[in-house]
Structure 1
């Protein structure tokens, strides 16, 4: 049975991340609202009953459980199965390296009470910099929601809380090795859900180095987002996605973690056409000749 005010926190922990106890500790420090919280740690059979006992001791909650899936389950399917098993009417998907501010639950409660049309709440966050990474910590201030921003980047960050109603308006997490969260928020926006921004850092996450695989698959994963959510993007962006997946030379991967807009796609096509007919070379030669020619004003002196 779904509870109207219950928050289901779903932690995906397929690789038994060492940061999980600290996340649970941040949840236990909430100023209020813990009585309306359940925690599901989604795994693939690697957790033991002793782990569960330790987590209950850390949080002081009995309503925390392991949701095991098949060992071959993907991160997307594990989250989907855990969400279906959750009992709350609000879902918060976290990674073990995330942390929640003590005011997270009280702020969320106020947002949904004062703005009942809200379907997805997101907040500013703090980016932590673990030692020996060379990264600098700092606060990330996010903008108010506009579809155009989500069309370009998956900017919502950690700590995005969605209602069960919004979750059921989507297909859930779809297979995308890099941008499954971004794809989910686009699905929610495409379904007409309302987003609300809290301009306060209610969450934090560790800065992590981008893997070679993420960079290598960036273009394909972005193109798949566009293909699967065609109604959310301009037709030029859809043309780019199709062209990229087909291997057409004009369709470049574009900036890392950024989907090209219609103007960007037009520029790509124009630049490729100029290179194809050699106009770029002719232009460079004309500039070279102009720079090498004497100044007419000086020649007439």
Structure 2
């Protein structure tokens, strides 16, 4: 028996975006008869759930379910609740409700999985109300993942990856990055599809923008939760930042400092303290 592709959509108040997402699923070159689609709604107040039920039931999914799962208050919890509704689907794709897929997305990811990958990421378009840009991913390299999130939520994975990691965790506001770090640390095989087949929307308001406002602690929480993936100096930085040590600065948004960056931070703080002591002396 061929397993269904599980598409899990997490949503909170993105009702106006849903027609675009479901239209992009309808346009896939892989027939929706192979797809089990779950819409997990985290206590929306804009009629999202009813709209999703109408849109999803009009498409020929092998199985479609739209259910209220909230209030949960964090994307990680909503995605995990969606997984629980997806049955035995394998592979899995987690989407935010404002995402869009180009027609070859499912086909291209399945081809990469069939070649032996366990996690597949596509190049993507980042779109905002002001402009858009194509993001070309680097070929997967754990060293890059230690410093920045080089994958998005719109990445397909084998079910075994999700089960081994016990789902997404809510200890960091960068739950996607945390998930990929744990997958890489667990030795799972990553592959890149060098086509922009996914559209990621950026908005001024939302959970992701609030996560950026808490950037430092969110990054440090990733390091603290999977310390074996990171070098000693980076672990020291994360511990110090979470403890409120003044030398442990967040640095650039979305970037975890390398060992040399941490040493530079400590040296700069030591120089500042020396200069202050001289002035006060």
TM-score by length of 1: 0.84
Distance 2:193 2:275 in 1: 51
For structure 1, which segment, 155-164 or 225-234, has the greater mean C-alpha deviation from structure 2 after superposition?
Answer: 155-164
For structure 1, which segment, 67-76 or 215-224, has the greater mean C-alpha deviation from structure 2 after superposition?
Answer: 67-76
Instruction: Report how far residue 272 of structure 1 moved.
Output: 0.7
Q: Decide whether aligned partners of structure 1 residues 144 and 225 sit closer, same or farther in structure 2, where only a CA change above 3 A counts.
A: same
Structure 2 unpaired stretches of 5+? none
Q: Deviations over 1:11-36 (max 9, x none)?
A: 10122432112101100001123221
Distance 1:271 1:229 in 2: 27
Structure possessing the higher radius of gyration over alpha carbons: 1
Distance 2:245 2:41 in 1: 40
Instruction: Report how far residue 167 of structure 1 moved.
Output: 0.9
Distance 1:215 1:48 in 2: 28
The reply to whether residue 223 of structure 1 matches residue 220 of structure 2 is yes
For structure 1, which segment, 193-202 or 4-13, has the greater mean C-alpha deviation from structure 2 after superposition?
Answer: 4-13
Give 2:91's aligned residue: 90
Q: Among 182, 187, 195, which residue is 2:182 paired with?
A: 187
Q: Among 27, 30, 41, which residue is 1:29 paired with?
A: 27
Q: After superposition, where does 1:32-181 map in structure 2 within 5 Å?
A: 32-44=30-42, 46=44, 48=49, 51-57=52-58, 59-61=59-61, 63-72=63-72, 74-86=74-86, 87-113=88-114, 115-116=115-116, 118-130=117-129, 135-176=130-171, 178-181=173-176
Instruction: Report how far residue 224 of structure 1 moved.
Output: 0.5
Distance 1:158 1:275 in 2: 40
The number of residue pairs the alignment matches comes to 273
Distance 1:50 1:150 in 2: 37
Give 2:13's aligned residue: 15
Distance 1:51 1:33 in 2: 19
CA contact (8 A) 1:11 1:40 kept: yes
CA contact (8 A) 2:33 2:62 kept: no
CA contact (8 A) 1:8 1:38 kept: yes
Residue 66 of structure 1 aligns to a residue whose secondary structure is strand
CA contact (8 A) 1:21 1:55 kept: no
Give 2:192's aligned residue: 197
Structure 1 unpaired stretches of 5+? 283-301
Give 2:268's aligned residue: 271
Instruction: Report how far residue 51 of structure 1 moved.
Output: 4.2
Instruction: Report how far residue 239 of structure 1 moved.
Output: 0.3
Q: Report the RMSD for the aligned CA atoms in angstroms.
A: 2.3
Give 1:289's aligned residue: none
Q: Decide whether aligned partners of structure 1 residues 229 and 60 sit closer, same or farther in structure 2, where only a CA change above 3 A counts.
A: same
Distance 1:49 1:274 in 2: 60
Q: Decide whether aligned partners of structure 1 residues 62 and 45 sit closer, same or farther in structure 2, where only a CA change above 3 A counts.
A: farther
Q: Deviations over 1:115-145 (max 9, x none)?
A: 12x1100010012232xxxx32121100000
